[in-house]
Amino acid sequence: MNETYRNELVERFLSYVKIDTQSSEEGEGRCPSTDKQLQLARHLTEELKTLRLEEVEMDQHGYVYATLPANTKRNIPTIGFIAHIDTSPDCSATNVRPRIIEAYDGSDIQLNSEVTTHVSLFPELKQHIGEDLIVTDGTTLLGADDKAGIAEIVTAMTYLMGHPEIEHGKVRVAFNPDEEIGMGAHLFDVERFGCQWAYTMDGSEVGELEYENFNAASAKVVIKGRNVHPGYAKGKMINACIVAHEIVEMLKAERPETTEGYEGFFHLTNMAGNVEEATLSFIIRDHDRTRFEERKDRLQQVAATLNDTYGETIATVSIKDQYYNMLEQLRDKPHITAIAQEAIKEACGFCTIVPIRGGTDGAQLSFKGLPCPNIFAGGLNFHGRHEFVPIQSMEKATMTIVNICRITASQS
């Protein structure tokens, strides 16, 4: 990538991250969950029109769609690239002030007088010595998740427009709200998008390709206690908070902080209550569908065991499936991941296939009929003030998109 496109890519990204697009769990039930996401959606709509992409539109929920027309008459599959507009609710995205560290030297990075990104805690920094890093000022997240993906997609489209010698078919792009709260794909119009397959640009480390993710469910446990004056409680009181603690103890062997790779877990996300009533909120995760179903059964069994122990129904469990492993939808379509692998290898010199210890919009979209693996966007340490993105990784992600378009055409 030459200096002109590199500068365009960086300037585009820096302009996006300064727009606060934080989504909110409290806004669940409406889309977008926060009105401020619409500011970036409108900005992108106008930008894509200015760049002379076609069929540019934003719907009432802040989903933005556009088309780069084919530059050949050959019959080439229509493919798409997707990134999300919102940033995580876990850390402030107000007044993001990014800065660039040129030719990073491998030392600790002082973000401000109180916050330092220590290499000992974030050893992934060592993989990017000599590169140019975009970091935060230590008061907010950066927003590379997923504004790096947006900048890469838009820049790849301008690159293809500026290089008509690269043959490609019709390319669709889309930017959606509310991915961080698990709602990004719910109102995504797959039929309107009109692609045979797509890729989300929402991964992390350079060179990574992801087409396996967790099966996911949320669970809520409600515990009904029995309150009695503590001076006369013997043999009568059932303390709902104590029962809640028992449940957590029975599941403590498999938590996010003790698992890795393909290992699943129960993650306690919230607990509240008093003697009379307590609630526990969990998310349940596993790559293997059979083990995933077993985990849901185990939580029900834990509640049943306690009900037997106390001789009455004090614990009830409600479970809601959220998304499933996209591998189920991609296993019989190997060309989709093979094209991505080749494109990444050309851009990076290697391709690392890793399972996602989480989920993406691509997982839900795959089950809606749009096969959709996930490709690196380059950012690291998402959702917090130590987030950073190497500019060189963003360049490689941009060229991966270009390569995918070219390879898809060449193989048709």
Cis status of the peptide bond prior to 371, with omega within 30 of 0? no
Residue 28 bears catalytic tag = no
Residue 179 bears catalytic tag = yes
Q: For 327-387, give the DSSP string.
A: HHHHTT-HHHHHHHHHHHHHHHS--EE--BSS--HHHHHHHTT----EEE---BSTTSTT-
User: Cα angle vertex 191, ends 188, 194, to 5°?
Assistant: 105
Helices 144-162, 391-410: inter-axial angle, 10-degree rounding: 50
**Tokens for 336?**
């989709």
Q: Which of 20, 47, 86, 132 is catalytic?
A: 86
Query: Would strands 315-323 and 79-84 be described as parallel, antiparallel, or unpaired?
Result: unpaired
Q: For 53-70, give the DSSP string.
A: -EEEEE-TTS-EEEEE--
Q: Which of 179, 180, 202, 395 is catalytic?
A: 179
User: Which residue type sits at 157?
Assistant: M
308: enclosing H helix or E strand: helix 289-310
**Catalytic center residues:** 86, 179
